[in-house]
Amino acid sequence: MWETYFTSADNCFGAVSHIVFTLFGDSYFYWNNLKSNPKTISDFIKILNGYVAIVVKDPHFYNLATKLISDLANFNKNIKTLDLNPPDVSRYNFLILFESPANTKGRLIDLSRGEFDLINPLTQKVIFSSKPNESFTALMVDRIEGKPALVLSYYPDPSGIKMLSLYQFRNLLELSGNVGIATKDFISAYEVGKKLRVEYKYEKGFGYYWNRYKLWIIMFLVIPVTTFLAYVYRKLTRRSQT
């Protein structure tokens, strides 16, 4: 037998439900651990609980971080504490980091490497490109020190932080991907890694050009080789006839 009820909150669009079970001795029901491994931005926000550390590494983010703390406190009553810049994050269940592009090395998108495209590897279609956009906020789900983390950064300069402020908190709950991009025109989510790959403009090697232009490369090589072989064949045929 069990009973389900929802937490008390001012919002009705995402409160995490509590489930109370009454288990009998012969139910053969047991649990061994609790897994917190969100795959999307939406899942990360919805499952926040316990102790959450807010780590601001770039001071340009303080206004946005303060607003996010207020939104999370109103949205999710399962969060016991939201601490700003604690000296030790080892005791926290979740991490939310605000970083400059220079600190995003090793993340799903390394913004320190400059302009990039998100590409569908099956069709070679560019799904998102940083170049046409003036500035934007980037959100990325990650694991840091073994803990689920949400990383926020900007590109190419701090003016990109304002882009996320154009949207409501509920818009974050609709980001069903491990990467989110907020521009002045739209906010959208992407599945980087499994469905999309990142290609950096200034670090495109042979593999990139081979995948993109291999048909033309093959034709460029095959045509002169074929022409040469045909010429040799004609020369040899004439000699044999004489």
| Tens of pLDDT, residues 28-73 | 666 565 568 899 999 999 999 999 999 999 999 999 999 999 999 9
Report the candidate in 84, 35, 76, 91 with the shortest Cα–Cα distance to residue 172.
Answer: 76
Q: Is 3 helix (H, G, I), strand (E, B) or coil?
A: strand
Q: Tokens standing for 187?
A: 């906010």
How many H-runs (helices) and E-runs (strands) does the chain carry?
5, 12
Confidence of residue 5 (pLDDT cuts 50, 70, 90): very low
Q: Tokens standing for 107?
A: 């993340």
Q: Report d(CA 117, CA 212) in Å as an integer.
A: 14
Q: Please give the helix or strand (H or E) that residue 68 lies within, else none.
A: helix 62-75
Confidence of residue 224 (pLDDT cuts 50, 70, 90): confident
Asked if the model's pLDDT at residue 173 lies above 80, the reply is: yes
Q: What is the pTM of this model?
A: 0.74
Q: What is the pLDDT of residues 119-163, one digit of tens each?
A: 999 999 999 999 877 899 999 999 999 999 999 999 999 999 999
For residue 72, count other CB atoms closer than 10 A to its CB.
18
The pLDDT of residue 228: 73
